[in-house]
């Protein structure tokens, strides 16, 4: 029996998961790490925490499964996307904290770019100017961090998303690579020509040699320091689309993680959206490229974490389900969860969070319920936009991620959308997708044998679309939370 190991390096925690050849999860190890908020709207991670938590999770998972590294056939890596690390090729040391995808420090630069380069960026990368993507974060480091500037002058600067940083640290020969799905999130990669785009590199003053070589998402890439080969790399949202076996155009999933990410497979040609969806690369396997369209909600699970750690009004994430059920309705309270700005279809990085409709009768239960309703209403925004932009009527939403354990939310989601919500038996579809990519590379399985492995745990089936009036009230709350931070 062979095993595949996935490292799932997410925004809030790092995990290592071991799958057997039947894709059963045999061991999992998880570690949270510090979230650094140096200023309002700024988010950073310590790059060393990322490597150390990955290493300690790998060792723990392998020990718990009582296997040896020799029994691992391949390693898959999946990661929070867009987050940037800068390091020095000679010392191997990180030169600054990782600037996280949620970080809004380059909002002003993104606003400028919207005026001057929106169309150019969109047609080349499928993205729109926003501090979310890696390019302005790299540019910011080059302008503001002395150590980064000096390494650029010496020619030893290396930039990478988290996959690159992990692979650099986990390979004996210090490979500097990334895959197509991660490259497509940088705002520097031309998704038509499948190469770093010189015009965009010049726009952000980034030299090609600072950036990793772009490789297939599934291929025998290089041996790791543990021995087994790294066979799969994908950004976490693309990995979970793959893990949901969404191999055909029109297949769509939503992962409820730190943020919520809805992706639809659109086949071998990019579909450019006019109204705020992103076009992205799903994966590249054996010369075949698959594109996807994406709509994201920057904070969803993060809102529950904020209720717990920031406000302290709940002590566990599970409590949100009990509390939301206690309230018969939202008590007139509506919430805009724009804690890190708003993505599709609003794209307002200056929007901030807002509760509206509070009265003396408002309870903790109403607040919690309004937060969960926010997540479900925002998902409706994106599903509707996807239908409009692709002309495909969505009949079923495949879901995964931590928040899908909340049955109240899943039921609410299906009623707000008016379509069945299909919760996958394996909740870790992100890790699963990366394992599948790695296993394909070493010949453990292929796409057709993987298709049969996806199983539904529960389908939440609505009677029809509900909460129409509440949705329109909530839209008003969203409007009021926009154009806030100047």
Q: Which region among 40-48, 211-219, 230-238, 332-340 touches ligand G3P (by CB under 6 A)?
A: 230-238
Q: Which is nearer to ligand G3P, 131 or 235 (CB)?
A: 235
257 binds ligand G3P (CB under 6 A): yes
Q: CA 289 to CA 285: how far, in whole Å?
A: 7
Per CB under 6 A, contacts with ligand G3P among 96-125 are 101
CB of 237 to ligand G3P, least distance (A): 5
Please say which residue, 100 or 229, places its beta carbon nearer to ligand G3P.
100
Stretch that binds ligand G3P, among 150-158, 229-237, 281-289, 469-477 (CB under 6 A): 229-237
**Shorter beta-carbon distance to ligand G3P: residue 125 or 258:** 258
3-state SS of 420-482?
CEEEECCCCHHHHHHHHHHHHHCCCCCHHHHHCCCCEEEEECCCCCCCHHHHHHHHHHHHHHC
Q: What's the min distance (Å) between Cβ of 161 and ligand G3P?
A: 9
45 touches ligand G3P by CB under 6 A: no
Residue nearer to ligand G3P on the CB measure, 97 or 330: 97
Strands (E), 11-93: 13-20, 25-32, 44-45, 72-79, 85-88
Q: Cβ of residue 256: shortest distance to ligand G3P, in angstroms?
A: 9
The only residue of 161, 217, 237, 404 in contact with ligand G3P, by rule CB under 6 A = 237
Q: Which of 259, 282, 343, 433 binds ligand G3P (CB under 6 A)?
A: 259
3-state secondary structure of 338: coil
Single residue of 45, 81, 284, 352 touching ligand G3P by CB under 6 A: 81
- Member of 44, 73, 82, 163 binding ligand G3P (CB under 6 A): 82
Stretch that binds ligand G3P, among 51-59, 76-84, 225-233, 339-347 (CB under 6 A): 76-84
The two tokens of residue 191 are 């998704």
How far apart are CB 422 and ligand G3P at their closest, in Å?
Answer: 20
User: Which residues neighbour 98 within 8 Å (Cβ) at sequence distance 6 or greater?
Assistant: 44, 45, 46, 47, 50, 83, 84, 85, 162, 165
CA distance 361 to 91: 59
Q: Which residues pair with 265 in a beta bridge?
A: 292
Tell me which residue has tokens 């075949």. Answer: 288
Q: How far is CA 349 from CA 8, 186, 298, 339, 462, in A?
A: 27, 17, 10, 10, 34
Q: Which of 236, 389, 400, 422 binds ligand G3P (CB under 6 A)?
A: 236
Tokens of 255: 């992962």
- Interface with ligand G3P, residue 400, by CB under 6 A: no
| Binding flag, residue 3, ligand G3P (CB under 6 A) | no
- Token pair of 58 as six digits: 């790998």
């Amino acid at each position: 029996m062979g095993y595949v190991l996935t490292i799932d390096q997410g925004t809030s925690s790092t995990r290592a998961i071991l799958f057997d050849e039947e894709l059963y999860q045999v061991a999992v190890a998880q570690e949270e790490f510090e979230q650094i908020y140096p200023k309002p709207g700024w988010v950073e991670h310590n790059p060393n925490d990322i490597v150390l938590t990955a290493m300690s999770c790998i060792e723990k998972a392998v020990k718990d499964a009582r296997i040896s590294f020799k029994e691992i056939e391949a390693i898959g890596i999946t990661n929070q996307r867009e987050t940037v690390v800068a390091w020095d090729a000679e010392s191997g040391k990180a030169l600054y904290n990782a600037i996280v995808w949620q970080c809004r420090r380059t909002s002003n630069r993104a606003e400028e770019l919207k005026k001057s380069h929106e169309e150019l960026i969109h047609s080349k990368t499928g993205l729109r100017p926003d501090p979310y993507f890696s390019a302005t974060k790299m540019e910011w480091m080059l302008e503001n961090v002395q150590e980064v500037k000096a390494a650029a002058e010496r020619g030893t600067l290396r930039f990478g998303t988290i996959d690159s940083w992990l692979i650099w640290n986990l390979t004996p020969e210090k490979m500097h690579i990334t895959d197509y799905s991660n490259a497509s999130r940088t705002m520097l990669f031309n998704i038509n020509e499948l190469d770093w785009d010189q015009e965009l590199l010049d726009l952000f003053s980034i030299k090609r040699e600072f950036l990793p070589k772009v490789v297939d998402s599934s291929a025998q890439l290089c041996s790791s320091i543990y021995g087994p080969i790294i066979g799969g790399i994908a950004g976490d949202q693309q990995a979970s689309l793959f893990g949901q076996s969404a191999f055909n155009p029109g297949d769509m999933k939503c992962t409820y993680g730190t943020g919520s990410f809805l992706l639809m497979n659109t086949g071998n040609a990019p579909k450019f959206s006019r109204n705020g969806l992103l076009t992205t690369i799903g994966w590249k396997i054996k010369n075949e490229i698959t594109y996807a369209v994406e709509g994201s909600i920057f904070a969803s699970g993060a809102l529950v974490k904020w209720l717990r750690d920031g406000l302290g009004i709940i002590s566990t994430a599970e409590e949100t389900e009990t509390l939301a059920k206690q309230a018969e309705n939202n008590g007139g309270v509506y919430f805009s969860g724009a804690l890190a700005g708003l993505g599709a279809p609003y794209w307002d990085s200056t929007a901030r969070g807002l509760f509206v409709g509070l009265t003396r009768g408002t309870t903790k239960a109403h607040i919690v319920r309004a937060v969960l309703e926010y997540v479900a209403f925002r998902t409706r925004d994106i599903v509707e936009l996807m239908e409009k932009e692709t002309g495909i009527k969505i009949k079923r939403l495949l879901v995964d991620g931590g928040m899908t354990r909340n049955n109240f939310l899943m039921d609410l989601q299906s009623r707000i959308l008016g379509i069945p919500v299909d919760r996958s038996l394996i909740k870790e579809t992100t890790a699963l997708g990366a394992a599948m990519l790695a296993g394909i590379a070493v010949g453990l399985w292929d796409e057709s044998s993987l298709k049969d492995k996806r199983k539904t745990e529960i389908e939440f089936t609505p009677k029809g679309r509900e909460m129409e009036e509440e949705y329109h009230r909530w839209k008003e709350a969203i409007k009021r939370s926009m154009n806030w931070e100047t």
